[in-house]
Amino acid sequence: MKVHDDNGNELDATFSVEDAGEHLSVVFESKGGTRGSPDARNIDYNQGLELLLARLASLEGVLVDTVIETRDTSNLPAEQRRVVVDGTAFPISLADVYDIAGFRKSMSSAQSKLGRAPGSRGGGNPTKRIRLTVGVPGLNDERLASLLVGDVSTGEREAVELQISPKRRGRAGQGRGLPAPARLAVERLAMDAARAYYEQTWPVVEDVSANRSFDLLCSDGDGQLHVEVKGTTGDGSSVLLTPNEVLHARSKFPNVALFVLWGVMCDQSDPDAPVASAGTAVVFEPWNIDEHELVPVGFECRLSVD
């Protein structure tokens, strides 16, 4: 299968997903040749690998192991083929990796040092065939492969508008025209409201918005609920979602919810310290994103420069 970027464009980056028993294996093929040459293959290696890692992070994937698989290293034990990133021990929760791009670069640097003949010179090959053993609960090999491909429809590229309540119409939503401080105030109010709502029924409610593809993680020892939180000064008929938020909502159903605080008032008398207040909450739980309409809100213009 070929990796597609977030705009749906197919990359020259090939991978496969295999059932490895307790876990799944994502096998990413090596790069060879140069772009445009007859022997070129997987020229978009770096971009493709980075997208796979980012999508695994969105799926709350855990990297159990990573090894290179080349002809010259086929007889070596796993310990000598293992790709260790900056000394980090496995397993690695990719959702907790702050800089996926930096992680991918470190992974490439680490693999370039493996499988080299003694005394060899040069920087080594950072684009080898690698096998990532991953834990992604609730997904089989076919489902994981389809999510990692990223061949999304037009309505899911870049930011999309989720139509959540066609019956209610009025002011257009999510405060897209608000200055950054006002948007932040609205978002904070929505987060506070959502936390207060879920703390009534869940013993543990954590804010994970800084490094996850959702906002609140609710748990009770037996189960979890992933909550996406949106705040809007509009009428709540639509909210904006990123591609990763769409991917996450689909993969975690039915253990996912959407909390929307709409009709928020925002006093901007002091533009540097706006105050958000009021608002009405609507909750979708479980949240089946495919029951709603996804509408594209922008286009990418590809320019040809001579």
Residues 196-238 have pLDDT tens digits of 999 999 999 999 887 777 899 999 988 899 999 999 888 888 8
Residue 126, pLDDT above cutoff 70: yes
Res. 159 pLDDT band, cuts 50 70 90: very low
Q: For position 171, what pLDDT does the model report?
A: 43
Res. 164 pLDDT band, cuts 50 70 90: low
Burial class (CB in 10 A: 0-12, 13-18, 19+), 84: middle
**Distance separating alpha carbons of residues 149 and 251, to the nearest angstrom:** 14
Q: For position 155, what pLDDT does the model report?
A: 39
When comparing pLDDT for 182 and 121, which is higher?
Answer: 182
Residue 166, pLDDT above cutoff 60: no
Of 15-29, 44-58, 180-194, 267-281, the least confident: 267-281
Mean pLDDT of 168-173: 44
**Distance separating alpha carbons of residues 198 and 218, to the nearest angstrom:** 7
Helix, strand, coil share of the chain (percent; to 5): 25, 25, 45
**Distance separating alpha carbons of residues 9 and 214, to the nearest angstrom:** 25
**Distance separating alpha carbons of residues 231 and 45, to the nearest angstrom:** 38
Q: In the numeric block, which tokens belong to residue 120?
A: 């060899």
**Tell me, what DSSP letter sits at residue 174?**
T
**Distance separating alpha carbons of residues 47 and 36, to the nearest angstrom:** 17
Question: Count of CB atoms within 10 A of residue 155's CB?
Answer: 14
Q: For position 278, what pLDDT does the model report?
A: 84
Q: Which positions ≥6 away from 126 have C-beta within 8 Å?
A: 108, 109, 111, 112
Q: For position 201, what pLDDT does the model report?
A: 92
Contact between 254 and 286 under an 8 Å Cβ cutoff? The reply is yes
**Tell me, what DSSP letter sits at residue 41?**
B
Q: For position 20, what pLDDT does the model report?
A: 86
Q: For position 104, what pLDDT does the model report?
A: 93
Q: For position 299, what pLDDT does the model report?
A: 56
Q: In the numeric block, which tokens belong to residue 114?
A: 């493996």
**pLDDT-above-70 percentage for the chain:** 84
Q: What is the mean pLDDT of the chain?
A: 82
Q: What is the pTM of this model?
A: 0.59
Per-residue pLDDT tens over the stretch 132-153: 999 887 778 888 888 888 765 4
Q: For position 154, what pLDDT does the model report?
A: 39
Give, for 75, the enclosing helix (H) or strand (E).
none
Q: In the numeric block, which tokens belong to residue 130?
A: 């690698």
Contact between 162 and 223 under an 8 Å Cβ cutoff? The reply is no
b or e along 97-120 (b: 16 or more beta carbons within 10 Å of the residue's beta carbon)? Answer: beebeebbebbbebbbebbeeeee
**Token pair 């970027």 in the structure block, residue:** 5
**Distance separating alpha carbons of residues 94 and 115, to the nearest angstrom:** 26
Res. 112 pLDDT band, cuts 50 70 90: confident
